[in-house]
Copies of this chain bind each other. A is one copy, B any other.
Amino acid sequence: MVFMPSGAKMLGLQVAKVVQSKDENYKVGEYVSGPLGWATHSVLNPSTFKDTMHDAKLERVRYTDVPLSYSLTALGLIGATAYFGLLDVCKPKEGETLVVNAAAGGVGTIVGQIAKLKGLRVIGFAGSNDKVKWLTEELQFDFAYNYKTCNVVDALKESAPNGVDCYFDNVGGAFSSLVLTQMNTFGRIAVVGAISSYDSDLMNQPLVPAVQTSFIAKQLKMEGLIVSRYESRFPEAYEQIYGWIKEGKLKCYEHVYEGFENLPKALLDVQKGGNTGKAVLKVK
């Protein structure tokens, strides 16, 4: 069965084994990852494929002594996004305080773990009490809150009494306006996702408190990033994350669904925030 939804976003990312090849760069038996589609088999031309997919292209799977799915998560774009958004944009210094939202998600779990490795105080926000418990108990976040039930400003006054230095933002919107009021002078913000606005087009965004007064009062710096900007440095991120995984310092959290027939359930769970870590579907 070959099923190709029309929206490119919906292609997702897959790992596949090369079973036939006319391109000497891709040998039979090797594994590749990329937006291959939800299909048992994909037929593609690596060079044109590269041109039409800007954010994710065909990649040879680099690390085969860890689960192959890691090449879609910690050792793929998810890991690179966490790595560069945190280290290159937020530029944290040991002892500083970081806020990350969608903290139990694919990117958030890696951001939080790298931040702990770098000696930061880590505060996570997620969408259920179970996730909050998991973040503090399993991932060793210093503080975690359910953004649906907490008062964000009160939560930050409790967990970051000396203010927030770095903010890794997957959500945007009103939540971010509140976090910005609690930041320290010269605070840095990486805008990596805007989940809160995904249902709105650019010219019709939700109304939220203006942020400019926070920017001036605290001389904040905020940067939006699409990870493909760092493509030439991906190997640096992957080598570092792979090293942490092998040393047992970083775990790759995946929410695994078994069987192609569970794809609709997996997708709906992602939409509803039902997963912890990156959602991965395993076919036999």
Q: Of the candidates B169, B191, B216, B229, which one forms a contact with A193 in the assembled complex, judged by CB atoms under 8 Å apart?
A: B216
Counting CB contacts under 8 A, is A211 at the interface? yes
Copy number in the complex reads 2
Annotate A203-227 by CB proximity to B: 1 below 8 A, 0 otherwise: 1111111111111111111111110
Tell whether, in the assembled complex, residue B217 and residue A172 are in contact, meaning their CB atoms are under 8 Å apart.
no
Separation of A221 and B193 alpha carbons in the complex (Å): 15
Shortest distance from the beta carbon of A188 to any chain B beta carbon, whole Å: 10
Does chain B have a CB within 8 A of A200? yes
Report chain B residues within 8 Å CB of A214.
Answer: 202, 224
A136 within 8 A of B: no
Residues of B within 8 A of A209 (CB): 204-208
Q: Which one, A21-29, A110-118, A141-149, A173-181, is touching chain B?
A: A173-181
Mostly helix, strand, loop or mixed at chain A's interface?
mixed
Interface digits, A40-61 against B, CB 8 Å rule (1 contact, 0 not)? Answer: 0000000000000000000000
Closest to A204 in B: B209
Task: Judge if A192 is at the interface, Cβ distance under 8 Å.
Answer: yes
Q: Would you call B213 and A200 a contact (CB within 8 A)?
A: yes
Q: Find chain B residues with CB under 8 A from A229 CB.
A: 219
143-188 of chain A: CB within 8 A of chain B: 153, 169, 172-174, 176-177, 181
* Whole-angstrom CA separation of A70 from B89 in the bound complex: 38
Q: Residues of B contacting A211 with CB < 8 Å?
A: 172, 205, 211
Whether A215 lies near B223 (C-beta < 8 A) is yes
Query: CA separation between A153 and B204, bound complex, in Å?
Result: 13
State how many residues of chain A have any CB contact under 8 Å with chain B: 41
Q: Which residues of B contact A202 (CB under 8 A)?
A: 181, 213-214, 217
Are A216 and B196 neighbours in the complex by a CB distance under 8 Å? no
Apart from A169-B212, A172-B210, A194-B215: 20 A-B pairs, beta carbons within 8 A: A153-B203, A173-B210, A191-B215, A191-B216, A202-B213, A202-B214, A205-B209, A205-B213, A206-B209, A206-B210, A211-B211, A215-B222, A215-B223, A218-B224, A219-B223, A219-B224, A219-B226, A219-B229, A220-B223, A221-B222
Q: Enumerate chain A interface residues (CB-CB to B < 8 A).
A: 153, 169, 172-174, 176-177, 181, 191-194, 196-197, 200, 202-226, 229
Q: Which 6 A-B pairs have the closest CB atoms?
A: A172-B212, A215-B224, A205-B209, A194-B212, A207-B207, A191-B215
Jot down 23 A-B pairs with beta carbons below 8 A, ordered by A.
A153-B203, A173-B210, A173-B212, A174-B210, A191-B212, A194-B212, A196-B212, A197-B212, A200-B213, A202-B217, A205-B209, A206-B209, A206-B210, A208-B209, A208-B210, A215-B222, A215-B223, A217-B224, A219-B225, A220-B223, A221-B222, A221-B224, A222-B223
